[in-house]
A and B are shown apart, each in its own frame.
Chain A
Amino acid sequence: MLRTNRILALVMVIVFTASLFALSGCQKEEAVKNKIGLVFDIGGRGDLSFNDSAYAGLERAMADFDIEATYLEPGEGGENREELLRTLAEEGYELIFAVGFLFTDAVISAAADFPESKFALIDGYVPDLTADSNIVCLGFAEHEGSFLVGAAAALKSETGKIGFVGGMNIPLIQKFEAGYRAGAAYVNPDIEVVVNYIGSTGEAFKNPQAGRELALAQCDQGCDVIYHASGASGIGVIAACAERETWVIGVDSDQYLTASDEEKPFVLTSMLKRVDVSVYETIKAFVEGNYEGGYKTFDLSVDGVGYSVSNEAAIADIQDQLEEIKAEIVDGTVVVPTNYEELDAFLAELGG
């Protein structure tokens, strides 16, 4: 017994010593490479939307810069997201992306414990950051992009009635709604917008059954263009619109490219939220030594948001008008509302 224990101890010592050498060997090799980590939001890679866009940015950065990158997916409810951030920080990742506002608390707590790592929080808001903070909040002017697709919807609508399907009923998604309704009213003050939300929890972003039924209900009410801001639930919205042969507007990434062949003709456009641009630009700044904490907003003027034109047959006849409106937003002639109060003021001004 004693003998086996000794042998075991010896083996252990050898293994640990060997692994020490192995580890130090690795570190020498990686010293030149920046280590970039990314943790996805619930929905994960392959949501054909938000997360995929973030991944696209990471992929592009991997091609352009000499970096070592890894990505992790949280569990089903996303409860382990903070654990994943900490894991990456412990492993020496220098820049860590947290994809989605649900990460806000996790980033605040992880960033406090790992001052050496930088955290980039997409879509979230952490108060009181400075340029020296190790957190940077990457925000988007979703309302501006939504304003453009709202205008597109109103220009394309023949019934004078358009729909909006939101995922979780929170201020972030209401920002999409406010921009959309303002944009629609801007080109047609008499437009009627039917608004539905799927739910009030994170589950609302992955409930395609409800997305489909809501869209069908809006079609039954006479809507002939429907815009969704509902993550993976939007797959159901697109399917329903294709079934009823009505226009649908995608969100976050260009959903024309990921729709099935039967659905493609009905995808009018998508509100592009260039998460990929924000990820790429942040990595670029970091690699070049220009990282700054604080807040970055990607708006229409830097093409951080926009609308897609891949369905040329559908969008061609209104593209000129949309470009005019885009120019008005960029130069500040039109100030797009971001919440219900601003929307009411905007609509009142249009009416008066």
Chain B
Amino acid sequence: MLSAEMLASAIRLAVPVIITAVGAIYSERSGVINIGLEGMMIAGCFTGAAVAFYAGPYAGILAAVAAGAFFALIHAVASVHFRVDQIVSGVAINILAYGVVRFSSLSIFKMATTTPHVDCLPKVTIPGLAAVPWLEPLVSKVSPLIFLAFLLIPFTAWVMNRTVFGLRLRSVGEHPLAAETLGVNVYLMKYCGVLISGALAGLSGAYLSIEHTQMYVEGMTQGLGFIALAAMIFGNWMPLGAMWAGLLFGFAQALSLRVVTEAVPYQFIKMVPYILTIVVLAGFVRRSRAPAAVGVPYERGEAA
């Protein structure tokens, strides 16, 4: 049951969740709930595939990142600047992104729900390891974005815990008033957090459309943006935790796709990550700890 092929499949399915969940950490740690991740992924999916069709996969991925960041900017302006309820703004982003993408798809390709085929990035094979039989499926012909996703984990941990930027970002999410008293630009930090989360959601969208399917199909995000949010919570707002949560999700998916038994219907296996998230949130395993000021709009100058 546990084969290298299965693990490789789990990793491929986990990567979009991991990238988006890591992005969500930046946003939430700065105190902004980003429920619009799904919409930002959709924007990344389509923009990535559309630009890749005309200008190649590298340009496609950059454009996807930009598209995700653009929708994040709308979210940031609404929820940070105008202090709109963050949930409402996020939901609006999801609906807006869907509509904009369908409109663009119709006007560019005359097709509502798909783009033409696009090329993916050159696949990477690690020469030495690929010769080991058991490792072969894991290290040969792998999308480079998968390596990037796993590099994001230590990088984000380093940013959060070892840099001035990370400290300020977290302080804004925990206690914006105190942060501003100490001279931290609260709005700037929140903008950074939301924009990074949007950019990463866009990147994960590009992974789906350019790397995984080599085409955009409407609805291909399948709610992964929300699952990423759950993975981030399950991972206790930590990059390493988000990675394990993402892998758990990918593993459950791979399991449900590969292990079909009469005894356990695949629907039940698919439920596993969601049930675990609820269990964690309900505090059965350990207390999940959200940033203290997450979801609370902050008005600049409250300190004065």
Residues of B within 8 A of A259 (CB): 117
Residue B98 is within 8 A (CB to CB) of chain A in the complex: yes
A236 to B: closest C-beta gap in Å:
6
Residue A106 is within 8 A (CB to CB) of chain B in the complex: no
Residue A123 is within 8 A (CB to CB) of chain B in the complex: no
A214-B218 contact in complex given A45-B113, A76-B98, A260-B117, C-beta closer than 8 Å: no
A210-B257 contact in complex given A45-B113, A46-B114, A236-B213, C-beta closer than 8 Å: yes
Residues of B within 8 A of A48 (CB): 114
B217 contacts A213, C-beta separation under 8 Å = no
Residues of B within 8 A of A208 (CB): 212-213, 215, 217, 220
Partner of B113, one of A43, A200, A220, A239: A43
Residue B150 is within 8 A (CB to CB) of chain A in the complex: no
Binary CB contact string for chain A from 38 to 74 against chain B (1 if under 8 A, 0 otherwise): 0010111111100000000000000000000000010
Residues of A within 8 A of B214 (CB): 239, 260
B222 contacts A47, C-beta separation under 8 Å = no
B186-221 CB contacts (< 8 Å) to partner A = 208, 212-215, 217-220
Q: Please report the C-alpha to C-alpha distance between residue A42 and residue B220 in the assembled complex, in whole angstroms.
A: 13
Q: Please report the C-alpha to C-alpha distance between residue A206 and residue B112 in the assembled complex, in whole angstroms.
A: 13
B217 contacts A235, C-beta separation under 8 Å = yes
Q: Please report the C-alpha to C-alpha distance between residue A73 and residue B13 in the assembled complex, in whole angstroms.
A: 30
Residue A196 is within 8 A (CB to CB) of chain B in the complex: yes
Residues of B within 8 A of A73 (CB): 112-113
Residues of B within 8 A of A209 (CB): 13, 208, 212-213, 220, 222
A44 contacts B113, C-beta separation under 8 Å = yes
Residue A157 is within 8 A (CB to CB) of chain B in the complex: no
Q: What residue of chain A has the Cβ atom nearest to residue B222's Cβ?
A: A207
A128-171 CB contacts (< 8 Å) to partner B = none
Residue A232 is within 8 A (CB to CB) of chain B in the complex: yes
Binary CB contact string for chain B from 253 to 287 against chain A (1 if under 8 A, 0 otherwise): 11001101000000100000000000000000000
Residue A245 is within 8 A (CB to CB) of chain B in the complex: no
Q: How many residues belonging to A are interface residues under a CB distance threshold of 8 Å?
A: 31
Residues of A within 8 A of B110 (CB): 45-46
Residue A203 is within 8 A (CB to CB) of chain B in the complex: yes
A217 contacts B217, C-beta separation under 8 Å = no
A44-B257 contact in complex given A209-B212, A235-B217, C-beta closer than 8 Å: no
A46 contacts B257, C-beta separation under 8 Å = no
Residues of B within 8 A of A40 (CB): 112
A206-B220 contact in complex given A47-B113, A73-B112, C-beta closer than 8 Å: yes
A213 contacts B222, C-beta separation under 8 Å = no
A239-B213 contact in complex given A44-B218, A209-B220, C-beta closer than 8 Å: yes
B11 to A: closest C-beta gap in Å:
11
Binary CB contact string for chain A from 280 to 320 against chain B (1 if under 8 A, 0 otherwise): 00000000000000000000000000000000000000000
A206 contacts B5, C-beta separation under 8 Å = no
Q: What residue of chain B has the Cβ atom nearest to residue A260's Cβ?
A: B117
Residue A122 is within 8 A (CB to CB) of chain B in the complex: no
Supply 19 A–B pairs (Cβ within 8 Å), ascending by A.
Answer: A44-B112, A45-B110, A46-B112, A46-B114, A47-B113, A47-B114, A48-B114, A73-B113, A76-B219, A196-B257, A208-B213, A209-B13, A209-B208, A209-B212, A209-B213, A213-B254, A216-B5, A217-B9, A232-B113
Which B residues have a C-beta under 8 Å from some C-beta of A? Answer: 3, 5, 9, 12-13, 98, 102, 105, 109-114, 117, 141, 208, 212-215, 217-220, 222, 253-254, 257-258, 260, 267
Shortest Cβ-Cβ A-B pairs, 10 listed: A46-B111, A44-B112, A260-B117, A44-B113, A208-B213, A206-B219, A217-B258, A220-B5, A46-B114, A232-B217
